[in-house]
Amino acid sequence: MKLYPRLALTILSLILLQALFTGFNMSRTIRNSNLEDARVELELETDFIINNFNSWKRHLWKQLIMIRNYAENRDPAELTEEELNTLLTSTGIDAVIVNGRNFGFTIESINNSPEFVLPDSHELHNTFNHPSIRLFQIKGQFYMVGTILPEGLNTPVDVYLIKHINDYFLRNLVLDTHGQILFHTATDYLGGDREVQKIAFRHISPETAYTQMYGLTDQNRSFNLAQIKMGDVLNISGASDVYLSILLSNEPYNKRIQSIERTVLTVSLLTLVITALLSLLFTRGITRPVATLASAMGHIRQGRYDIQLNSSGSSEIGVLLRGFNGMAARLHHDQIKIEKSLDEITFLNEFNEEVIHSIRDALAVVNDDYEIEKSNSAFDRLAGARYESLIDFSAHAFDETLIHAVSSILSGEQEEWNGRLRNRDEGLFEVKIYPVHREFHIHSDRKMCVLLMEDISARTAYEEKINQAEKLSSISMLSAGIAHEVNNPLTSIVTNIQNLIYDEKDPEKLESLRLVEDESRRIAQIIRDLNDFTSREQDSGGICSPLRTAEEVKRLIQHARRPDGSRIPPIRIHTAARDKVQDVRISRGELMQLLINLLQNAVHATEDNSPIEIILQEKEEDGLITVRDRGCGIPEEIQNRIFDPFYTTKANGEGTGLGLSVVYGIMQKYKGSVEVKSASGSGTSVTLRIPFHRGEEL
Amino acid sequence: MGGFKSRIFLFILACLLGTPAFTAGRGDEQYTDIKILYVPGVADPFYESMEQGARTRALETGVSLTVAPYPGSWDPEVQIPILEKAASDGTYDLIMISPVDRDALIAPLEALYKQGIQIITVDTEIGDGNYTDQSQWSFPLSHIGTDNFAGAVSLAEHIAEKAGEKGKVYINTTTPLTSTTEERKLGFIEGISHFPELDVVRVDYNGDLQEVARQQTLNALIEHPDLVAVFATNVFSSQGVSAAVKDTGLSGAVKIAAWDSTRPLVKSLRNGEIDLVLAQKPGEIGALAVEWAYKYFIEEKKVPESITSGYIILDKSNINDPDMEQYIY
């Protein structure tokens, strides 16, 4: 719930509660006060009325005593009418009746009181021998009668001083009061306000002489009632208790309460309205700034810190807004700093990435779960894709050797690992593995290591070639000397052997001589091959067509047979369009020699009839001549020795071991190269790379 | 706050546990070897109520209480023999007595005192009631009763208000030899003297006879037809005065102040025949007498020479209050 409705509801509820509470308490207090006031009023009214009534009693009594005293000197029967009238008018008594007891005479004197009804004198009687005041009910009329039987008279008379308690009397009795009064017995009306009669009869309490009742209702009127026992009244039935009932309206008090309640209600309503308005004004003073603040905080959430609020005033809201402004400015400032820092970090990060990826060598960081934390492009290219796990990488690029090496570093067995590994593509890599220093891993307890892999395939091949060339050069020099020294005696030996063969008739000796001749010729061949190998100056500058040369070689040896008499495998030549095969810079004879040497090795390696292929290709400025077989292949461990002079895998006497050395030497002469790809059981492919002839190079 | 609550709890617990100790000897039957003789003034509800209060207290303290026969009239010649016989019938440590004659009872009581019996006067006194100053009648331990003078002053002030503080006032009393009624008369006169327009015009002594009181009142009403109020100093006076005023039909016109809230007087009050009644607390007087006797003999405390009990004034405004029932005897 929003602030204003909540605040307004709370305050209005409080006011309502307060109004109810105040109204209730005030009503209660007023009612109690009313009750007390009503009690006091009723008591005062009652006392006033009773005192007035009693004063008439005393008055009558005094008159009786006066008559008594008078009678001591004079017979009351002798009172003249004038004297009686004077007595009546001066005392306010309504009538005087003198009854002679013995003689039955009656003297009556009546005052002309309004509404006076003279009682029947026979209804009056005196039972006391002393003055007394009695109340009489005679024929529906109510009288206060003072009675005296004066003493010492010759003729006893009863003197009755009569006061009619009629409406006139009662009106004067209650002069200046607003009470309604009624004289009554338990059953009969005696005098007064008949309206009070029903109520009075309903509430008679004979046990007590004085009763006060408050808050009685009759016909929607509220009133208070006092009932006083005033003695007894004599009537034809005897004596009955006389009650004086005084009734006062409670309406003024009720009106007072109603007025108070109305006032409280009005004030409360007014307070409610004013409070509602003030609450609205007050809450606006809070809700508006709060809404502004909320909106500004929305900007902050969205990262827009450059916001300032209007914050005038020294109130708490103003302090809050100024505080917000300060916070926003600080955030903005920090944001700028952070952005700068991020930019720097990003730049450094990107720079580092570029640097890492620029490194040609493969670089990777591996953790102790063999997960590749970081790797550069060169590393990923080794496996053909980026792998998360070193194990997966190793399976695609290398073999388990890499895993073992990494393990030895991560486990701490070794401080560093250096070695050369060949990948799946036969490339040779120099691998270095180092542990990562812990001080660089402040956020991680994991062990890590750095893998650095340098592709040394070309360098190694080049070094091998250099070594090979140096070896060949050394051997060449040595061979040249040996060939020169051996050639001459060999010529003599061969000549003499031929002469002996010519003259020998013994078959056994002849066979031996022929054997000697064959062997001598073989030595001569070796010498010639060695001369070929050592002579890099022969046929330099030649040009030939690789296609025609290959076809010629094919014709030459296609029909040759193995030592066991079986035919050699078929030889197939593959090329692009015949007319597009360019000439290469090598003499025809040397190229033929190269092809023959390679084809010999291929035939030797191929035990079945798988074809041997000669493939002619072009690559950039060079022609490629590949001789490929599906033979037994060359084991990897000897591949770096195949170009060594005199190195052969053939059985003793089947080859000189100089074939590939010659190929190598000739390629070196023509600034070409030879590349061997072979694997045990998968055949061998030897590719000669010879520069094209460009015409002006001759 | 926890400690405060604990202390309150412990206090309440101690009170509950200590209540038996507190009430030991109060309300439980006890026994001591103290014997008290109660000699009332006359057979009327006042002294009967006093006896009831004394018995209750005697039960609580374990004191033995013996009540002498109630005199049929307020007469020393009736009371003295009852006193002497009762005293001789037993061995008492203390006699609590309402002397009907302030002078006549001095010698008999002194004789008993000299036998070692302590005396406490209740309601009425001997001599001038001063037991502090050394005198012939200063031997009683104490006098316990209503402060009659002060009560009468209060009563006078109340009746004066009801009478309008103006007019003539009449007093009907018993005998000048009765200390209590004399003090009441004097107190009433003193109270009326506070109202300049009120005047005590006549005082009659009715010898504690109701009919005499009635006739005297009648005469006073005739002699002084402008009487506004009458004070009757005791029960019989009150009843006589009330009858006279009622007979003359002047009930309400002449205000009546009575002493002692006997049932007949209370009935008259309820009927409007009497306007004021001063209710003594005779039960309290009897209880105080027994209690101080106990304190004197058992706890060896000094008994004050004068001990006053309370009173309350009843009128039409409170006579129907249930709480007032306890003051009616």
CA distance A647 to A529: 14
Instruction: Give pLDDT, residue A532.
Output: 62
B272 lies within 8 A of chain A by CB? yes
Task: Classify strands A417-422 and A428-435 as parallel, antiparallel or unpaired.
Answer: antiparallel
For residue B100, the enclosing domain spans: 35-146+281-310
Closest CA to B236 of B173, B176, B282: B173
B50 phi, psi to nearest 5 deg: -65, -45
Residue B242 with chain A: CB contacts under 8 Å: none
Tens digits of per-residue pLDDT, B171-201?
A: 999 998 888 899 999 999 999 999 999 999 9
How far does B285 lie from chain A, in Å, by closest CA?
30
For residue B27, tell me if it sits in a domain: no
Instruction: Give pLDDT, residue B56.
Output: 95
Q: Which residue of A has its CA nearest to B320?
A: A208
B245 plus B214 within the same structural domain = yes
Please report, for residues A2, A106, B114, the alpha-carbon distance to residue A291 in angstroms, rounded to integers and kept in the order given.
11, 107, 104
B286 plus B296 within the same structural domain = yes
- What is the phi-psi region of residue B127: left when phi exceeds 0, alpha when psi lies from -120 to 50, beta otherwise? left
* Spatial contact of A197 and A227, defined as CB atoms under 8 Å apart: no
pTM equals: 0.54
| Neighbouring-strand partners of residue B38 | B67, B96
Q: Three-state SS string across A542-601, please?
A: CCECHHHHHHHHHHHHCCCECCCCCECCCEEEECCCHHHCCCECCCHHHHHHHHHHHHHH
Q: Which residue of B has its CA nearest to A210?
A: B316
Test A209 with B272 for CB contact under 8 angstroms: yes
Residue B272 with chain A: CB contacts under 8 Å: 209-210, 228-231
B165 plus B136 within the same structural domain = no
Instruction: Give pLDDT, residue A30.
Output: 80
B161 lies within 8 A of chain A by CB? no
Confidence of residue B10 (pLDDT cuts 50, 70, 90): low
Tens digits of per-residue pLDDT, B275-304?
A: 999 998 999 999 999 999 999 999 999 999
B56 plus B165 within the same structural domain = no
Residue A134 with chain B: CB contacts under 8 Å: 249
B178 plus B237 within the same structural domain = yes
Instruction: Give pLDDT, residue A259.
Output: 86
Instruction: Determine how many CB atoms are found less than 10 A away from the CB of residue A78.
Output: 8
Q: Which residues of chain A have pLDDT under 50?
A: 537-538, 697-698
A127 lies within 8 A of chain B by CB? no
B137 plus B71 within the same structural domain = yes
B226 plus B302 within the same structural domain = no
B185 plus B318 within the same structural domain = yes
Instruction: Give pLDDT, residue B303.
Output: 94
How far does B249 lie from chain A, in Å, by closest CA?
5
Write the residue in A55, A134, A208 that is nearest to B249 by C-beta: A134
Instruction: Give pLDDT, residue B22.
Output: 45
For residue B21, tell me if it sits in a domain: no
Confidence of residue B272 (pLDDT cuts 50, 70, 90): confident
Tens digits of per-residue pLDDT, B60-84?
A: 999 999 999 999 988 999 999 999 9
ipTM of the complex: 0.73
How far does B320 lie from chain A, in Å, by closest CA?
8
Instruction: Give pLDDT, residue B23.
Output: 45
- The domain that holds B285 is classified in CATH as 3.40.50.2300
For residue B7, tell me if it sits in a domain: no
Q: Does the structure show a pLDDT above 70 at B324?
A: yes
Instruction: Give pLDDT, residue A280.
Output: 79
Best B251, B265, B277 member to test A by mutation, with max A CBs in 10 Å, is B251
Q: Where are the alpha helices (DSSP H) in A304-452?
A: 316-358, 377-383, 390-397, 400-410
A355 token code pair? 């640097």
Q: Does the structure show a pLDDT above 50 at B24?
A: no
* Spatial contact of B225 and B164, defined as CB atoms under 8 Å apart: no
Test A54 with B253 for CB contact under 8 angstroms: yes
B263 lies within 8 A of chain A by CB? no
B153 plus B271 within the same structural domain = yes
For residue B93, tell me if it sits in a domain: yes
Q: Which residue of A has its CA nearest to B161?
A: A47
Question: Who has greater pLDDT, B205 or A543?
Answer: B205
Residue A55 with chain B: CB contacts under 8 Å: 253
Instruction: Give pLDDT, residue A439.
Output: 65
A560 token code pair? 């040759």
Test B247 with A130 for CB contact under 8 angstroms: yes
For residue B286, tell me if it sits in a domain: yes
B179 plus B292 within the same structural domain = no
B248 plus B323 within the same structural domain = yes
Best A39, A52, A61, A244 member to test B by mutation, with max B CBs in 10 Å, is A61
How far does A206 lie from chain B, in Å, by closest CA?
9
Q: Which residue of B has its CA nearest to A232?
A: B249
B194 plus B306 within the same structural domain = no
For residue B271, tell me if it sits in a domain: yes
Q: Which residue of A has its CA nearest to B272?
A: A209
Best B248, B256, B267, B317 member to test A by mutation, with max A CBs in 10 Å, is B248
Residue A210 with chain B: CB contacts under 8 Å: 272, 316
A128 lies within 8 A of chain B by CB? yes
Q: Which residue of A has its CA nearest to B317?
A: A210
For residue B24, tell me if it sits in a domain: no
CA distance A118 to A97: 10
Overall number of domains in chain B: 2
